[in-house]
Structure 1
Amino acid sequence: MRLLVAVVAAVLCAGTVLMVRVTASVVSRLNDLRQAVDRRFADISAATRLFAQVEKLRGDGVPRLVDAAEALSAGPGILREFVYAEIDRLAAHLENLTDSVAECPGENHDWLLTLTRCTRKSIDAVTTTVVDDYSGSTGSAGRYLAAQGEAIERGASVRRLFVVQRSAQAAALVPLCTAQRQVGVQVRVAVLEKLPPSLRRGAMTDFVVFDGALSYEVDFDPLGSYCSTRIDAHAHRVEPFVSRFDLLWNATEPADS
């Protein structure tokens, strides 16, 4: 009898241990499954947010970008690497712009042209460095001039202020001013030696203010070469440019024909 009791007790004990192990295994697998489901729902939620943001974008730029990247993925390796590098570059710029500011080395004509084409209200530009034989009708200068003309046709006001050190330098700007006026740009030439002392203080830099809300600023190195370009939509950065332009513009007479 005692032997039977011992056997039954051993069986029950072994069964209990087995049940505990099976239960623990089931619980572990359920936890893994729950975590997997949670991750899946998190991915779906992230995708849903992404699609919701994409739907807010104007036009079909994002689908076109995806389709182009997919189509080019079958091309030569160098082409694929170029496409991926361009997408990464664009993503980096857009990521920077989430803080309403972005900067790049040298002068960025693409930014300048795109901003000009996006403008609806006004473009106010100060230019301190001008090439003597610049006609404004070829290359990137010609494209920029054409984009300004298109902005004017949309109803935007475009004002261009050239800054020179001495009156004698203004004569070299006549062809350029003529080309600007022909597309409807309002042009003035500020001669530093004729300006009030208060307006001569501070650094003279090239900048453009778009729609009174975003500044495009170009910095130069000591040799006068383009060093970097910065766009900024922070009000405390844009307002000084707006004020600076208005002061210089109001202190200058319209350019001679």
Structure 2
Amino acid sequence: MTTRETESVPQPQPQPHRIQSRPKLFLKTLFAVLTGVTAFFAIGALDEDSGGRWQWTMAVVLGYATLIVQLLVGFGERLEAVQEGQNRRIRELYGKVDGLVPRSDEVTRLGLGYARVGEQGADIVKAFAEEELGRLALLMDHLGNSTADCPGENHEWLIDLTKCARRTLYATSTSVDRDFWSSEPARRYLVAQEAAIKSRGVEIRRVFLVDEESDVTAGLYQLRELQRTLGIDARIAVRALLQPAARMASLNGFVVFDGELCYETEPDIRVMPAKTTLKMTREQVEERISRFNMLWEAT
């Protein structure tokens, strides 16, 4: 290898913390050696009858003791620095939580309620509280990662999201959830939609999807008209009559809230809701909005 090639090869650089720690360790060792030497001569001067072995023993012991004390002090200082750093990060985290939680009173209620359960509740109640708190924590974690899911169809998510909507609610309803509209959760869902329309001016559109024209029954017409009386712009689409692109867009039932979050159900082999998913990434939501617009224009 030539001199030029040798010069061009990058040499490993020592880490800064190692550079700083080496002089400190050298000084501590030097101080311990000086302490031992001083002890050696001090013992010899104070007790001239002491043997050389005793002088060396005491010198070594005092030197080691001095070094150990210095190392322990340094370790304690580093430990305090680490603890202070952790405390600072915890304070920052709590500060972020306080700034990000507009309804901190609800968080306070949760903490106080959990504390009361721990003090007074029976074992089964405590276990149930732990389970529910863990479920809530897991949901918050998943929402922070822009996706969440649960087994089956989560009617409470659907109703709560409707109560939170401020601008738009675009939904498709397939044969999978046709029986849902005669259930008690559906009644609460429609009440929440009517309130969203009247009190907040939310625009709600719904497309009822059926496979064939023969599936457009009198009961489906009645369901559409009922929802129209509540202010919902409801339409019916027949898959067999759709263009291929629109037909592919009508696979699963979904609801897009405010153009920001998509609630979607996935059927199982028995055509029953097997899973509910919340999707919040921009790409996923925009894709569902594009699907809905394609179906809406085809009705």
TM-score, L = length of structure 1: 0.87
| Segment of structure 1 superposing worse, 145-154 or 14-23 | 14-23
Q: Does structure 1 conserve the Cα–Cα contact (< 8 Å) formed by 2:170 and 2:206?
A: yes
Q: CA RMSD in A?
A: 2.3
The equivalent residue for 2:145 is 99
Q: In the alignment, residue 203 of structure 2 is paired with which amino acid?
A: S
Query: How far apart are 1:98 and its partner, in Å?
Result: 2.1
Residue 160 of structure 1: aligned partner: 206
Q: Are the counterparts in 1 of residues 249 and 294 from structure 2 also a CA contact under 8 Å?
A: no
- SS of the equivalent of 2:285 reads helix
Q: Does 1:58 align with 2:105?
A: no
CA deviation profile, 1:159-213 (whole Å, cap 9, x unmatched): 1110112333222212322331232111111122332343223552100111112
What is the CA–CA distance in structure 2 between the aligned matches of 1:196 and 1:86, rounded to whole Å? Answer: 46
How far the C-alpha of 1:9 sits from its partner, in A, is 5.3
Give 1:18's match in structure 2, choosing from 36, 40, 61.
Answer: 61
Is 1:141 the counterpart of 2:195? The answer is: no
Distance 2:189 2:74 in 1: 61
Q: Is the 8 A contact 1:106 1:228 kept in 2?
A: yes
1:179–1:35 Cα change, 3 Å = farther
Which residue of 162, 165, 174 maps to 2:221? 174
TM-superposed deviation, 1:23: 1.5
- Residue deviations 1:79-124, cap 9 Å, x none? 1111111111111122122221112111111221221111111000
- In structure 2, the gaps of 5 or more residues are 1-46
Query: Distance in 1 between the 2:93 and 2:178 partners?
Result: 50
Residue aligning to 2:295: 248
Question: How far did residue 5 of structure 1 move?
Answer: 5.5
Higher relative contact order (CA 8 A, sep 6+): 1
Q: Structure 1 residues 47, 231: closer, same or farther in 2, change over 3 A?
A: same
CA distance in 2, matches of 1:132, 1:61: 35
How many angstroms apart in 1 are the aligned matches of 2:272 and 2:64?
75
Cross-structure match for 1:255 = none
Report the structure number with the largest CA radius of gyration. Answer: 2
What does residue range 6-85 of structure 1 map to in structure 2 within 5 Å? 7=50, 12-56=55-99, 57-59=101-103, 60-74=105-119, 75-85=121-131
Q: Between the two proteins, what is the percent identity of the paired residues? A: 33
Cross-structure match for 1:208: 255
Relative to its length, the structure with more helix (as a share) is 2
Number of equivalences: 248
Between stretches 152-161 and 40-49, larger displacement belongs to: 40-49
Contact 2:176 2:271 (C-alpha < 8 Å) held by counterparts: no
CA contact (8 A) 1:101 1:230 kept: yes
For residues 257 and 288 of structure 2, what CA distance do their matches in structure 1 show? Answer: 11
Amino acid at match of 2:128: F
Q: TM-score normalised to the size of structure 2?
A: 0.75
Once superposed, which parts of structure 1, at least 4 consecutive aligned residues long, lie more than 4 Å away? 8-12, 130-136
